[in-house]
Amino acid sequence: MELSKEQRDILLGFQASEITEHHVYKKLAAIASDKNRDVLLKISQDELAHYNIWKRYTGEDVKPNRLKILFYSLLARLLGLSFTAKLMEKNEMKAEEKYNNLLRRYQEAESVLRDEVAHENLLLSMIEEKKVEYIGSMVLGLNDALVELSGTLAGLSFALRNSRLIGLAGIITGIAAALSMSAAEYLSQRAESGESRQPLTAAFFTGVAYIFTVVILVVPYLLLSNYLYALMWSILNGLLAILFFSFFVSVVKDRSFRKSFLEMFAINSSVILISFVVGLLVRRFLGIDV
């Protein structure tokens, strides 16, 4: 078939995408459990088959994107297979839209599209990973720490006006609150008799998420002497934590990123604003001067 330059460029782009995803899924399979490994290897072989289909039209070999392969491999090790595979699924959905536009031109595009749809269904059902099962506990720990500690630090900033003192109070408060939240999550899971999750594991994920949030919120007060600069840095860290976790949850749970982010941001901002006012009032009416 004679191809125009535009058509050739489109198909070469598909080839590059398919051969890259072939290697990505193969890398993911190498770190997956037995159940997930077979599915990922099957998808990897399908991507290679798609590559060969487009190669018959172009007659050219295309090299994979090594940076993309490395990126997804590192992402899987850092954030888990579930998150990485869901990101790959989003690429599959984009590919599906592109293949739809080619059905009338290329006969084999329809079979490729069917495979892409099958990949989505496989990815949705294949993954069993602890960090996803306990994502509710992680959300609880992160969100509670952001709301409670951000408000506490904001109030203390205007009441005490001493970075080191505020940081020390934040550490003590944060550790105590993390232990309290972990204990509460443990008891909550024990009370849910029909719950399949392990109480100790749920408590662990809650505590880890809480402690992580405590660290990123308190560190600015330990590094900066100006309490206002420390407060602004702490708020920025909290915003970045909300952005990251909202994105993580939206990908893994197929939720709206915008909705998740705005909800957490609105709650956290409201608490900080109220705490500002409380800190000023306490300092003014109680006459505390540190």
Specify the CATH number for the domain of residue 71: 1.20.1260
Tally the domains of the chain.
2
**Predicted local distance difference test score (pLDDT) of residue 194:** 52
Helical spans, DSSP H, in the chain: 5-31, 34-58, 66-79, 81-100, 109-126, 130-133, 135-160, 163-191, 199-223, 227-252, 257-286
pLDDT at 228 over 80: yes
Question: What digits encode the pLDDT tens for the residues 235-248?
Answer: 899 888 888 888 88
Task: Tell me: do 244 and 217 sit in the same domain.
Answer: yes
Task: Tell me what the mean pLDDT of segment 175-198 comes to.
Answer: 76
Task: Tell me: do 31 and 115 sit in the same domain.
Answer: yes
Task: Tell me: do 78 and 22 sit in the same domain.
Answer: yes
Task: Tell me what the mean pLDDT of segment 59-75 comes to.
Answer: 91
Question: What digits encode the pLDDT tens for the residues 41-66?
Answer: 888 888 888 888 888 888 889 999 99
Minimum mean pLDDT range among 11-15, 88-92, 168-172: 88-92
Task: Tell me: do 266 and 168 sit in the same domain.
Answer: yes
pLDDT at 220 over 90: yes
Would you tell me the crossing angle of helices 81-100 and 227-252 to the nearest 10 degrees? Answer: 60
Percent of the chain with pLDDT over 90: 12
132 vs 250, higher pLDDT: 250
Buried residues in 75-92 as b, exposed as e (16+ CB within 10 A): bbeebbbbbbbbbbbebb
How far apart, in Å, are the Cα atoms of 246 and each of 72, 254, 259, 261? 19, 11, 9, 5
Domain C-terminal end among 61, 94, 128: 128
In the block, which residue shows the tokens 């915008």? Answer: 258
Task: Tell me: do 114 and 180 sit in the same domain.
Answer: no
**Predicted local distance difference test score (pLDDT) of residue 101:** 63
Residue 142: other Cβ atoms inside 10 A: 23
Task: Tell me: do 141 and 221 sit in the same domain.
Answer: yes
Spatial separation of the C-alpha atoms in residues 54 and 167, rounded to whole Å = 59
Spatial separation of the C-alpha atoms in residues 43 and 25, rounded to whole Å = 7
Task: Tell me what the mean pLDDT of segment 106-115 comes to.
Answer: 67
What is the band of 217 on the pLDDT scale with cuts at 50, 70, 90?
A: very high
Task: Tell me: do 138 and 95 sit in the same domain.
Answer: no
The pTM for the full model equals 0.67
Task: Tell me: do 194 and 244 sit in the same domain.
Answer: yes
Task: Tell me: do 165 and 124 sit in the same domain.
Answer: no
Give me the domain span that covers residue 272: 131-286
Task: Tell me: do 138 and 109 sit in the same domain.
Answer: no
Percent of the chain with pLDDT over 70: 76
Task: Tell me what the mean pLDDT of segment 68-97 comes to.
Answer: 78
What is the band of 180 on the pLDDT scale with cuts at 50, 70, 90?
A: confident
Domain C-terminal end among 113, 128, 143: 128
Residue 246: other Cβ atoms inside 10 A: 22
pLDDT at 21 over 80: yes
Contact 157, 227 (CB under 8 A): yes
Spatial separation of the C-alpha atoms in residues 134 and 203, rounded to whole Å = 9
What is the band of 218 on the pLDDT scale with cuts at 50, 70, 90?
A: very high
Task: Tell me: do 12 and 111 sit in the same domain.
Answer: yes
Spatial separation of the C-alpha atoms in residues 238 and 185, rounded to whole Å = 23
Question: What digits encode the pLDDT tens for the residues 140-163?
Answer: 777 778 877 887 887 788 777 889
Domain C-terminal end among 68, 100, 128: 128
Letter for the amino acid at 122? L
Task: Tell me: do 119 and 147 sit in the same domain.
Answer: no
What is the band of 250 on the pLDDT scale with cuts at 50, 70, 90?
A: confident
